[in-house]
């Protein structure tokens, strides 16, 4: 009798659970069908995914290469890394004069103002142990009055600002920290890159006769333009975002 009781009880509970499960599934399907019928996008083709930033940059680089056959992305990135490193070194030395010819006038003016702010406020800026990873092209803008290329720099350095009177750090840390920054370089629209010496480019300045760096736009001694239309890529801004 006891066995029959528990057997009947289990059957009743099992039937109840199965009934609830069937009701739940039916309710879920009904809601799903209702949402499909009322969704205006159902059955419509989905919009194609937007090209990635790197894909757009590659397409723009191809267009730049067609307009400026002597342009080389690898050579540009080498020069960009040198300029970016020089700016960080100048910041650590608090010397705006050393970046002349590498940055735009607006960048240099803001850089100088920042240094004067540190000095007038009794602070010392320090950047040491700098290490840069290989840079990458992130954005390319062609058209208008100027062309622009945004480069992503990653690396590590000891970067901090110290109060001279107390010796306390007011910005950064005493340790070596990693960073990711985006530097935008600009040049006038329509500018072209000089040829390399191996391709017939100038090896000596036609004005003063001084030797010139391979692919240089102008003489570093007298400033005379070399081959191409000129228009050196100059650092215009540095940001923590590729969109600013």
Mean pLDDT of 33-62: 67
169 within 8 A of 160, measured Cβ to Cβ: yes
Enumerate the β-bridge partners of residue 132: 155
pLDDT for position 28: 41
pLDDT band at 29 (very low <50, low <70, confident <90, very high): very low
Q: What is the pLDDT of residues 224-237, one digit of tens each?
A: 665 555 568 999 99
For the beta carbon of residue 113, count every other beta carbon within 10 angstroms: 10
**Is 164 in the same domain as 72?**
yes
What is the dihedral sign for C-alpha 207, 234, 155, 164? positive
Per-residue burial over 68-101, b if 16 or more Cβ lie within 10 Å, else e, is bebbebeebbebbbebbebbbebbbebebeebee
Asked if residue 151 has pLDDT above 80, the reply is yes
Collapse the DSSP code of 57 into the 3-class scheme (helix H, G, I; strand E, B; otherwise coil) and give the result.
helix
pLDDT band at 155 (very low <50, low <70, confident <90, very high): very high
157 within 8 A of 196, measured Cβ to Cβ: no
73-93 vs 105-121: helix axis angle to the nearest 10?
A: 20
**Is 65 in the same domain as 183?**
yes
Q: What is the CATH number of the domain that holds 123?
A: 3.10.450.240
pLDDT band at 194 (very low <50, low <70, confident <90, very high): confident
Mean pLDDT of 33-52: 57
Which two three-digit tokens encode residue 152? 């992503």
**Domain of residue 143, residue span:** 53-193+228-239
pLDDT for position 158: 97
Q: Which helix (H) or strand (E) holds 181?
A: strand 177-188
In eight-state DSSP terms, residue 124 is: E
**Is 120 in the same domain as 72?**
yes
- Identify whether 117 is part of a domain: yes
**Is 162 in the same domain as 85?**
yes
- Identify whether 199 is part of a domain: no
- Identify whether 203 is part of a domain: no
pLDDT for position 145: 87
- Identify whether 140 is part of a domain: yes
Angstrom CA distances, 235 to 102, 151, 162, 230, stand at: 6, 10, 27, 16
How many domains does one find in the chain? 2
């Amino acid at each position: 009798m006891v066995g029959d009781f528990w057997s009947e009880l289990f059957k009743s509970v099992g039937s109840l659970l199965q009934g609830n499960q069937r009701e739940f599934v039916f309710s879920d399907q009904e809601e799903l069908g209702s949402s499909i019928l009322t969704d205006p996008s159902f059955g419509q083709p989905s919009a194609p995914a937007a090209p990635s930033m790197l894909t757009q940059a590659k397409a723009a680089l191809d267009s730049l290469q067609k307009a400026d056959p002597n342009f080389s992305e690898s050579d540009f990135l080498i020069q960009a890394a040198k300029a970016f490193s020089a700016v960080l070194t100048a910041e650590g030395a608090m010397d705006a004069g050393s970046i002349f010819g590498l940055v735009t006038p607006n960048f240099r003016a803001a850089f100088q103002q920042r240094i004067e702010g540190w000095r007038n406020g009794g602070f010392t800026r320090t950047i040491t142990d700098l290490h840069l990873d290989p840079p990458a092209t992130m954005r390319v803008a062609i058209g208008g009055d100027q062309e622009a290329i945004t480069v992503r720099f990653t690396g590590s350095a000891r970067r901090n600002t110290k109060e001279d009177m107390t010796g306390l750090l007011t910005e950064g840390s005493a340790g070596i920290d990693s960073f990711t920054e985006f530097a935008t370089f600009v040049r006038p629209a329509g500018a072209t890159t000089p040829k390399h010496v191996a391709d017939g480019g100038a090896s000596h300045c036609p004005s003063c006769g001084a030797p010139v760096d391979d692919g240089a736009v102008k003489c570093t001694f007298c400033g005379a333009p070399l081959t191409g239309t000129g228009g050196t890529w100059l650092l215009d801004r540095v940001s923590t975002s590729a969109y600013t």
